[in-house]
Structure 1
Amino acid sequence: MATFQFELVSPERLLLSRPVEMATIPAIEGEMGVLPGHAPMIVALRGGVIRVQENGAETEALFVAGGFAEISAARVTVLADEATPLASLSRAESEKRLAEAEAALNAIPLTEPEAKRDAAMARVLAMQAAVAAAGAA
Structure 2
Amino acid sequence: MSTFLLEIVTPERKVYAEQASMISVKGVEGELGILPNHIPLVTPLKIAPITVKKQGSKDEIIAVNGGFMEVRKDKVVILAESAELPEQIDIDRAKAAKERAEKRLAETKQDNVDFKRAEASLQRAVNRISVSGK
Q: Aligned-pair distance for 1:10?
A: 1.4
Aligned alpha-carbon RMSD (Å): 2.6
3-state SS of paired residue (2:23):
strand
* Alpha-carbon distance between aligned partners in 2 of 1:17 and 1:76, rounded to the nearest angstrom: 10
Gapped runs of 5+ residues in structure 1?
none
Name the CA distance, whole Å, in 2 between partners of 1:83 and 1:102. Answer: 22
1:132 maps to 2:130: yes
Where 1:39 maps in the other structure, the secondary structure is coil
Q: Which residue of 1 aligns with 2:69?
A: 69
* Cα pair distance change 1:107/1:70, threshold 3 Å: farther
Moved more, 41-50 or 102-111: 102-111
Overall identity of the aligned pairs, in %: 27
Going from structure 1 to structure 2, the CA distance change for 1:110 and 1:8 (only over 3 Å counts) comes to: closer
In the alignment, which residue of structure 1 is the partner of 2:40?
40
Q: Distance in 2 between matches of 1:48 and 1:17?
A: 19
Q: Normalising to structure 2: TM-score of the pair?
A: 0.78
Q: How many residues align?
A: 134
> Which ranges of structure 2 fall in alignment gaps of 5 or more residues?
none
Corresponding position of 2:53: 53
Decide which moves more: 90-99 or 103-112.
Answer: 103-112
The two structures have a TM-score, normalised by structure 1, of 0.77
- Contact kept, 8 Å, 2:110 with 2:116, in 1: the verdict is no
